[in-house]
Amino acid sequence: MTDDIDKTAGPAPAPAAGPEAIRAIPVRHYGRYVSALVAIGLLGSIVWAFSQGRINWGAIPDYFFDDRVLEGVGKTLLLTVLSMLIGIVGGVLLAVMRLSKNPVTRAVSWFYIWFFRGTPVLVQLVVWFNLGLVFEYIVLGPLYKDEWSDFMTPLLTVLLGLGLNEAAYMAEICRAGLMSVDEGQTEAAHALGMSHSKTLRRIVIPQAMRVIVPPTGNEVINMLKTTSLVSVVQYAELWRITQDIGQVSGAPVEMYFLAAAWYLVMTSILSVGQYYIERHYAQGSSRQLPPTPWQSFRSTVLSVSSRKGAQA
């Protein structure tokens, strides 16, 4: 039992007196220089064309940090976070229901996904908004009674519309994740006497996360952009507010560019967050995780400064 094969130790140190290292002249990639020039040229001409257009670019920085715009950005983020929460919780539930042994929950889940994935989210939003035609009052036993139109605030309409639609998509993502976990994992957990729910929570879901997180990041970014649709039900988020400002200030097109820039800023920040969440769930999957950009930046700076130190 003594001669373990130890894979944890690093590679054996290279022999001291090895053969001379090869110094060869690398292949020149002229195609790369040419394609870089073409790409830069195209980009430059597009930028030039836009700068010559009849667009008052100066209006954008004027309004970029306008209080109304910032409020719209906040509302957009709020909508994204809350509807994704509804979507993720609902999606996990639906996926578990879909994979359960109970035929009733399986059918309910199938029907839900069929309906919400099969109709446009814009249509769903408008239907939620007008549901007062069907239900005049909302009554929760003796606890609560109100008119539907008072109960169904624009925020609630929008959250239900976006969140319930998202749940259908998240359900499919979660289902794929749960199914990606090797069946041997469930068997091993069951053989140890773990219950179905503990097996799911402790063994299967943590491993499924590795498959679930990347497309979920995609969904978050998608959701952030989809929130712009809710302007149709009178909810004032970034897109609606920039449109309103555009109407009043007489610079409507400029405000579209402003909105686009804000959406880009927000999605860029979300992408960075996604990268770190993916790393977290990669635990134990590969022998060594590649360094984060920050880590490689730091190690580069440190090695440069230590080299300088050595020269001094």
Does 7 bind another protein (CB under 8 A)? Our answer is yes
Q: Interface with another protein includes 61 (CB under 8 A)?
A: no
Which of these ranges, 67-75, 147-155, 195-203, 238-246, lies near another protein under the rule CB under 8 A? Answer: 195-203
Task: Write each residue from 133 to 172 as x if it is in contact with another protein (CB under 8 A), else as -, in one continuous string.
Answer: ----------------------------------------
Beta bridge partners of 197: none
Among the listed ranges 5-13, 57-65, 147-155, 238-246, the one in contact with another protein (CB under 8 A) is 5-13
For residue 145, the surrounding DSSP H or E stretch is strand 144-147
Question: Of 103 and 284, which CB lies nearer to another protein in the complex structure?
Answer: 284
Nearer to another protein, 142 or 184 (CB): 184
Taking CB under 8 A as the criterion, the residue among 193, 272, 308, 311 binding another protein is 193
Cα separation of 162 and 84, whole Å?
Answer: 8
- Tell me: does residue 178 bind another protein (CB under 8 A): no
With beta carbons less than 8 A apart as the criterion, state whether 98 and 174 touch. Answer: no
Name the packing angle between helices 238-249 and 252-281 (round to 10°).
Answer: 160
User: Contact between 250 and another protein (CB under 8 A)?
Assistant: no
Contact flag: residue 10 with another protein (CB under 8 A): no
Using rule CB under 8 A, residue 11 touches another protein: no
| Beta carbon of residue 107, minimum distance to another protein (angstroms, whole number) | 21
Nearer to another protein, 195 or 247 (CB): 195
Q: What are the structure tokens assigned to 285, written together?
A: 């999957």
Is residue 194 part of the contact set for another protein (CB under 8 A)? Answer: yes
CA distance linking residue 121 with residue 127, whole number of Å:
10
Q: Contact 242/66 with Cβ under 8 angstroms?
A: no
DSSP state of 141: T
How many Å apart are CA 259 and CA 70, to the nearest integer? 11
153: burial class by Cβ within 10 Å (0-12, 13-18, 19+)? Answer: exposed
Pick the piece of the chain touching another protein (CB under 8 A) from 4-12, 126-134, 211-219, 304-312.
Answer: 4-12
CB distance 249 to 255 below 8 Å: yes
The span of 49-57, 77-85, 88-96, 277-285 binding another protein (CB under 8 A) equals 277-285
DSSP string, 11-50: PPPPPTT-PPPP--PPPP-HHHHHHHHHHHHHHHHHHHHH
User: Does 53 help bind another protein (rule: CB under 8 A)?
Assistant: no
Nearer Cβ to another protein, position 52 or 286? 286
Residues 281-300 that bind another protein (CB under 8 A): 283-287
Calpha distance 130→308 (Å, rounded): 70
Site residues (vs another protein, CB under 8 A)? 1, 3-8, 182, 184-185, 187-196, 198, 202-203, 206-207, 283-287
